[in-house]
Structure formats: C-alpha cells, structure tokens
Chains A and B, each alone.
Chain A
Amino acid sequence: MLEIKNLHARIVEDGTEIIRGLNLTVKAGEVAAIMGPNGSGKSTLSYILAGREDYEVTEGEILYNGESILEMDPAERAAAGIFLAFQYPMEIPGVATMEFLKVAMNEQRKARGEEPLKVPEFLKRVKDVAGTLEMDMAMLKRPLNVGFSGGEKKRAEILQMKLLQPKLCVMDETDSGLDIDALKIVADGVNSLRSPERAIIVITHYQRLLEHIVPDSVHVLYKGQVIKSGDKSLALDLEANGYAGVIGEAA
C-alpha cells in the first residue's frame, strides 16, 4: 500500500535535511510501528506523508497504491484515504467541531463522487462513534479542539479517523499525554479499524502503546533512515536495552 524509496527531505525554511534516504514498505492489512529517539525524523515523516508544505522532498519517491503522492496537496491526499492523527491537534477558534466534521466528511465524499450525507445520518454516525470513544456530545458543540484537554484532543483525532474511514492511517505519538484509561480507549479505537484493506502506521517513543496496538512490524528510525526492521519483539528489545545497541549495530 505504501512504498517509500530512498526519500530525502528538508525543511523549506532553512534547508536542514531531516530525512536522509529512507526506505519503508507497509502492506495493506499491516500495522507498522515506527520507533526512534527524539529528533530521528518520526514526526517529519508523518507530516511529509500528509503533505505539509514546510517540508520539501529533494529525492526519492512515495508511492501510495503504486502512485506517487508527491504532487498532491494535503486535501487530495486525505481524499485519497491518507489520514494523519496529529501529535498536537490544532485548536481552531470559531470553527464548530460538528460543522468541521460535516464539511470534512462531505468534502471527501464529493471528491469520491458521492452524495453529501443527510443531516440525520451524519448525526447518527457521529453519535455512534463518540459513544465508542466515551466522548461527550456537548464537547463537539465547542470550537474545534479549543479548550479540549490533551486526552480529549487525541480522542477527537480518533473520532475523525473513525468517521472518515481512511485507508492509510498515520498516528503520530498518539499515546503522548494520555492516561492509561484514555490510552486503552484510543487503542481500542485504532484496533477497531484494523482490516485487511487498511494499513496503520503507529509512530511512538514507547513500547507502552504497542501493548495495546500490537504491530506486525517494527522499524527503527534514526537520523532520517530506517536502520533496523523487525517484528514486535524488536520493540520489546528496544524497551529493555534502549536505542544505543541498535544504533551501534547500524554504525
């Protein structure tokens, strides 16, 4: 589903190269964990997949279902099924959460040539999904993410993901700022989306989240490259021994 080949990317503003020859393949149905120390390029990779303009790809290719996404803007990528769950979801005053959800769902439907959702059907879907995430509907009447706690923001991201039903989910440090109960709810939300047609990339620092979302593959990112790949035991190894060993091996 996703093939990243020899990707090089830098920050547009100052030219700093962050991704330096990254290779990664994620198949449909797979849950891939990306781990790595701070500054290894994990969040940058997630932004590049989503199409953020602050980064510029200088070399290499990103293929999604066999086609390059590099020329697509963030909205086109989202409509094609790529979803980024943000590490720090943006607070947007004045945009009501419900209105945002409705516009997002209908814009994606429009891009796929589908009719907009009728209001009762829309409300029902939101209510159902909010229920599974133990979210209060009153929260959704507020402006988007404004005044939400860290945990509420993460739940709101999962809510959007479940409503939009993307094909490729990229979860950037979804576990940060979550207590153990919230972590479980969020992990359940992600697990409910596991399917043979969908790939999920979980970016995390810690093994903790991977106890709840068990990955099929684990990739260690360091200085903008995948330096080691393995199965879930690699994550346990990293938890026990830290990154130093793996980094030493690669060097």
Chain B
Amino acid sequence: MNIQIQPQRTAAEAALVDAFGERLSLLPGNGEVMLKRDAAIEALKAGLPTRRIETWHYTDLRRLLTTVPAFEPTAEAKAVAPLVEGSSVLALLNGTAVKAAAIDGVKVSPVSEKLGDGTYAPALGPQGADDAIGALNSAFVADGWLLDIADGTVLDKPVELQNVQAGGQVHARLAVKVGAGVTATVVERQTGTGAAFVSSVDNVTIGEGSDITWVIVQEQPETATYLGQFNAWIGKDARLTLFVMNAGGKLVRQEIRVVAKGEGSDFQLRGVNLLAGDTHTDVTMVLDHAVPHTGSREIVRNVVTGKAHGVFQGRINVHQKAQKTDAKMACNTLLLSDDGEFSTKPELEIFADDVQCGHGATVTEIHRDHLFYLMARGIEEKTARGLLVRAFLAEVIEELEDEAIVEALEARLIDWFAAHG
C-alpha cells in the first residue's frame, strides 16, 4: 500500500500559500495567465525543494528559507545611480515598473500590461518539477520590463534594468527579445534596502549574429533573500557574454539556464561571488549545447570570508547532434577564513563523440610567497591581501571588453572590500 505523506508546511511555505490567497485579486492577468498562476502555486504547495532534489542538494531551500515577509505595497524604493554613467535606466521600484524615457531601436513595455492582455501567458510556468524559482515567480509576478530590440540596433550605452526592493516581497520579470545583428549591453541591478524576499526571472532570446553582454550585479542587503533565474536562447552565430557578480544577500540562488540553439553560437559566463558573514549563495548553471559548432567558456571566481557558504553547480549538456562543441568550465575559490565553505559540482553530460569539453575546480588560500613579496616592498599586510584578492577577481572582470563596465565593477569590488575586507 502506498500512502502519500505530505509533510507539514514550514512557516515559509505556509506564508507563501497564504500570501497567494491574499494577493490574487491584485495580480494582473487575463484568464489564461490566472490559470498559469494557479498551476504554479499548486506546484509550490507540494513543498519547497530540499537537499533530496539533486539540483538543490547544496541549497536546501525548505530548511534555509525560514521566513517570508508580507507584501509591503506602500514601501518606497528609490532608483540607484546607474553602473555606467549615461545608461538608459528602466527601473522597477518595489516591484512596479516606473515610466522611463524612450530608447532608440528598443520597444519597451511594462510586463503588467502583457500579463493583463495575456500575451505574456506562454512565458509563465515552471520549467520542470525542480523549478521552484520559475513556479514561485510565475505565481506572484506582477510587473517587470519587456524589451524588444529591433534588428541591426547598435546601442552605444548600456540599458540598465534596476530591480530595487524596499522590503516585503518583489517578484519581477525582465524579458528581452533581441533581433538579428544587434550589439548591446544590458546591466541588471538587483538591490534594495529591506529584509525582502525577491524573485526575478529573465528570459532573453538572441537573434542571428547578435552580440549581447549582460551584466548582473546583485547587491542585496545581508537581510534579504534573492532567487534569480536567467534564461537565454542563443541563435545562429550569436554571442552572449553573461557576467554575474554576487556581492550581498542572506540567502541567494542565481540560476542560469542557457541553450546554444543556433550553429556558431557562443556563450561566455564570468562569475564573481563575494561572500561574507553568515550567508548562503548558490550559482547553478545548466547549459545546453543543442546543435553542432557551438562554444562556451565559464569561469567563476569566489572569495569566501566569515562563515559564508557558497555553491557553484555547472552542468553542461552536449546533445547527440552537437558535434564540434568546445566547452570549458572552471571554478576557482579563494578561502579567506577557516569557517567559510564552498561547494563546487561540475557536470558534463556528453552524447556527441567529436567534442572538446573540460572542467576544473580549485580551492586555494592567499599565496604566502606573493604576500611576502608585496610586504617586502612596504605594503602593509591588509593592503597586500586586498591587492591579491582583487587581482584574483580582476582577471575575470578585465576580460569584459567595455572599459567603463570594467572600471565600474572594479569600483564595486573596492566598495565591497572596504565594507567586508
């Protein structure tokens, strides 16, 4: 006899289910959207993922998510200065898209509008049974930005998408459809001031021959929970460079799901995780090389201080027909404290026989000889350590081609070290 045992809901699970009931009447959406929301909350009712779910093994969300705050519709969030001066800023303040200036070559709509008329319904819903972030976000998403970049558009300044919380809950969508032959940089800021619970899902489709740089800077306060998911589909001969910097948050999971679906497409991931205090940060990537002649490189660098725990899971699936795939992944961690911890799990699943794939992971401390050399030139220990840690990260940041972005990111690094170094 089989008996389905439904474990008792945790406080956080109960709060989510209750919040959905209370929030439902305020959520935008036509009938189709509302059906998707119902299906998504049903998926959540089965419980948040635990360590027994393979993709959540190092981030037992059910155990780690102890509380979920109520919505705070009247809280005021303020837009922040853009990473790069002169960027076109599209802000989402406490979950609501704020009207902004037009951008040449880019059609911009608030997601609430597209939920209202149902055109956004197909993009809702979890992608598989372990997609808790997709389910959560689909149930609650109220707004966000939808960008449609016309063929041949070349943006000389970044578009900056800001998701700024002020406590409570925020569930956002950032969706960008990139046409063919586009060159653009998108900066995504995830920040705020409160002990918020934030989910944010990106859907990015990239047309033929386009070259897109996407920079996620996550700097939530050490009281906030942030669950992010970046989905991208890269078309023929197109290139996506994704840079992710995690420099905050109490409980953070950033999922990256990318499909190299056009021949000649290329994906580059560069990640920097700055982990401090008693925090938990998980970056989980699933990359599909679905067609022949595609390439990817992933380099993730982590600095762990305090009692922080970090996770990088990188899974590369090379499909059977994806011959000539060239994929390499590396994860390097600098452990600066005895109580810090970093878990790395690289996975390669290869069904094609003519490919080049590899991965490597290292965990090191600061090189004592390097430290001695710098100190022997009169650089005091703390400064010398800071130089060496920044050097470890700068190698990844400096690979970005845009000087203004490199400088801005290095400035964020320095700020982080000033606060946590």
Contact = CB atoms under 8 A, between A and B. Distances in A.
B417 interface: no
B379 A92 contact: no
B375 A78 contact: yes
A94 B372 contact: no
B383 A93 contact: no
Contacts of B156: none
A168 interface: no
A50 B369 CA distance: 13
Interface string B361-384: 000000011101111111111011
A160 interface: yes
B391 interface: yes
A89 B377 contact: no
Contacts of B375: 51, 73-75, 78
A111 interface: yes
Contacts of B401: none
Interface in B374-413: 374-381, 383-384, 387-388, 390-395
A75 B380 contact: yes
B362 to A, nearest CB: 13
Given A89-B373, A103-B383, A107-B383, A79 B378 contact: yes
Nearest to B393: A94
Contacts, number: 78
A103 to B, nearest CB: 6
Contacts of A226: none
A104 interface: yes
A160 B379 CA distance: 13
Interface string B113-157: 000000000000000000000000000000000000000000000
B378 to A, nearest CB: 4
B378 A92 contact: no
Given A53-B372, A100-B374, A103-B387, A94 B379 contact: no
Contacts of B379: 75, 78, 103-104, 107
Contacts of B376: 50-52, 74-75, 77-78, 83-84, 86
Contacts of A143: 391
Contact of B392 (A84, A94, A104, A108): A94
A143 B394 CA distance: 11
B381 A75 contact: yes
Contacts of A77: 376
Contacts of A83: 376
A143 B393 CA distance: 13
Interface in A71-105: 73-75, 77-79, 83-84, 86, 89-90, 92-95, 99-100, 103-104
A71 B375 CA distance: 15
A73 B379 CA distance: 11
Contacts of B369: 90
B399 to A, nearest CB: 12
Nearest to B386: A103
Contacts of A107: 377-380, 383
A14 B381 CA distance: 25
B372 A92 contact: no
Interface centre among B377, B387, B390, B393 (most CB of A within 10 A): B377
Determine the interface band of chain A, counting residues with CB < 8 A from chain B.
Answer: 20 to 34
Contacts of B378: 75, 78-79, 104, 107-108, 111, 164
Which of A53, A79, A84, A104 is packed against the most chain B CB atoms within 10 Å?
A104
Main secondary structure of the interface of B (DSSP, over half): helix
Most chain B C-beta atoms within 10 Å of own C-beta, residue among A74, A99, A143:
A74
Contacts of A51: 375-376
A93 B377 contact: no
A75 B395 contact: no
Contact of A53 (B368, B373, B380, B391): B368
Interface string A38-54: 00000000000011110
Contacts of B370: 90, 92
Contacts of A75: 375-376, 378-381, 384
B395 A93 contact: yes
Nearest to A79: B378
B390 A104 contact: no
B237 to A, nearest CB: 32
A87 to B, nearest CB: 12
Interface in B341-355: none
Interface string A99-122: 110011001100100000000000
B102 to A, nearest CB: 40
A146 to B, nearest CB: 10
A48 B373 CA distance: 13
A165 B58 CA distance: 53
A238 B376 CA distance: 32
Contact of A94 (B373, B377, B384, B394): B394
A107 B378 CA distance: 6
Contacts of B384: 75
Interface in A128-162: 143, 160
Given A53-B368, A103-B383, A107-B383, A92 B388 contact: yes
Contacts of B368: 53
Interface of A: 50-53, 73-75, 77-79, 83-84, 86, 89-90, 92-95, 99-100, 103-104, 107-108, 111, 143, 160, 164
12 contacts: A51-B375, A73-B381, A75-B378, A78-B377, A90-B373, A94-B390, A94-B391, A95-B387, A99-B387, A100-B387, A107-B378, A107-B383
List 4 A-B pairs, minimum CB-CB distance, nearest first: A94-B391, A78-B378, A74-B375, A108-B378
